[in-house]
Chains A and B, each alone.
Chain A
């Protein structure tokens, strides 16, 4: 065990209060865009609020992460601090898992209970009286009230783009692990190559996902407002896609840091955190592929 443990207590920091103002202004802007938009008012002012908030957030993220990186490279972080970061990242990922669990729960509830009940099944079959003749199917192409929620003509099958995307993401989990091994072996060329490959795979995934959305909206009439199938489909794949983009951003920053000569074979928690996050995104996708596309 080390005989000279240090514990780093940062001095006063301006970043948390800037982050508070940034997040508050951004979300206030988003909310007022939505409210003004739905009431038919002008949203120009709201967009400006949102823009100002986003710029503050971007400034904060650069500044805060920048100072953490500088402190880390100055050797101020002990093994104990490193463990705190590891616990922090692990529990953050657990909270993300629970966020997705809420949407998976909604999907399961709709499929197993709500839609069959609307079709007259089980104890609550009486709710069929609301929409006589409604047939419970999954994927749900004909909604109980097709006027309010016109259903999709077709949904996206699993064995086209989604299968390709599955292969892309699973492969990217392998490539990021190879890059990590390279970092531990001190082979920086290997890290650059395999990390760059991971980012290329990630971008390909995002591009194909965008292609799939365009296809769904323009040709299949599968939209957010095409009933519970569209709601669960787009919210699950959409939040996953947003997480892929965030993960790609993390990995890209790690690649930049590798090029700048950051990280050692022993100490590279920033890299590991990004790769943990990437594996989490991959596992969520596998859940999506099975429960949204295949079953």
Chain B
């Protein structure tokens, strides 16, 4: 057999012990050379790296669009862009950040870390893994190309509500729909791979309740992905048919209902927001114990809390739609169900704080991001509770208060979670320590910039400034200017992150196998950088 490798049998059970290369007989393979390494790879570390690099590229692209938005909003009046283009910027910024930056970053972390954390040699379905990744650049090529099409890019907001996206959408909407289909296929295959890996490739002795929390949160995230990405595919297919084939799903004159769009979309959309935060919960649950030098407080309750959040996420979707005229019984149900999510989330925040309580804390960059995550995500959670109250939501709906809320859960939530993970595991990935001073600078500039950008938005929203608008009344001018300054600061700071990572990849102080003395887990038992194939001998988990 030409270039096939086998993981051949060990000492019984579900073990795999040695890599046998049938044509060269060497024990460990390095990567192939040149571009084919990346195009043809089946290695979870290579694929993880590609996901992370792609995600960061999309983060910069979506961030550039955010800079355009904030530049236009720097002062009242129209200065830089026309309203049509402004709408394309808000739409593309949201789509690129959600589907291009945050989700692929977590899949990249999963690819790198899950096999190492459970003692597996690779992901369960390595070729499909490669396909899942490469579909993403393909999907975003189509999505971004809509900017150059006749009529411009999608301009209806990242939620693409009908009839804005059907009757009134630009011609490029059809391309947008197929781009979403490709992203969906990628996500579903990625999630299937994660589930098969976790359920099937754990090292002997690693029972479910001994799995690291990042593994648990990803298992539940993968379940959410498989449950809701097909629903997204369904809703965009209905749009496609309404636009091109004369169906009337979202047109009341044919007996359909535009509100139906919102129901189907948010049935996907609400679990989606947990898809973007649960893996961060998992990563933070590793980082806080490591830098507190104490085991995680309440492991089992963390697992149950994540499960409860995931299940509740299926029955809260209409809290995004209180103002469209949901019957009163529905409003009450969705209001209380939404508030209920605060209970398991509170359990998690309590456990993180209890882990730090009386620990020997140090504040390296991963810990700084993780602590900021706990504090700022909680602020985002509280504004979420305010929005959950149906009668109050009538006031907040479609104002900058909503923008402030979801940026507080996504930026210091999802994105700080990703930064914390990146600094935590960079020594394992590259074999070098990153520059701690620069990383702390990155943290503080991000922290200040992000709060400066998003905190004033709460006040703007409460004062009545609507979202998705390129111009505004004069009384909103001061807070908008502060917000734009913060956004520019946050945006520019991310180039520093690029510099830190490039420096760390190219060199730096050699990292030991376990650079953080409080860290626990199988990934710290292998050398840094982790060898191209890890765990040729399955570790025994006690």
Chain A residues in contact with chain B, CB under 8 A?
1-17, 19-21, 23-24, 27-28, 30-32, 34-35, 37-39, 64, 71, 74, 76, 80, 83-84, 87-88, 91-92, 94-96, 98-99, 101-103, 105-106, 109-110, 113-115, 117-118, 122-124, 127, 130-131, 140, 143-145, 148-149, 223-225, 227-232, 234-235
Contact = CB atoms under 8 A, between A and B. Distances in A.
Contacts of A145: 253-254
A28 B142 contact: yes
Contacts of A31: 142, 174-175, 177-178
A127 B259 CA distance: 13
Nearest to B225: A95
B255 A143 contact: yes
13 contacts: A9-B533, A14-B40, A24-B135, A27-B181, A80-B16, A95-B188, A102-B235, A110-B256, A225-B246, A227-B254, A227-B255, A231-B241, A231-B249
Where chain A touches its partner, the secondary structure class is: helix
B391 interface: no
Contacts of A74: 1
Interface string B220-244: 0000001111110111011011011
B254 A124 contact: no
B248 interface: yes
B32 A12 contact: yes
Given A31-B178, A106-B238, A10 B42 contact: yes
Contacts of B182: 23-24, 27
A17 to B, nearest CB: 5
Contacts of B82: none
A99 B233 contact: yes
Contacts of A38: 171, 243-244
A109 B42 contact: no
A35 B175 contact: yes
B138 interface: yes
B264 A13 contact: no
A95 B253 contact: no
A91 B226 contact: yes
A109 B257 contact: yes
B248 A5 contact: no
Contact of B42 (A13, A131, A224, A228): A13
Contacts of B255: 110, 114-115, 118, 140, 143-144, 149, 227-229
Contacts of B13: 1, 5
Nearest to A74: B1
A83 B199 CA distance: 9
Contacts of B174: 31, 34-35
Interface stretch (B102-110, B119-127, B413-421, B429-437): B119-127
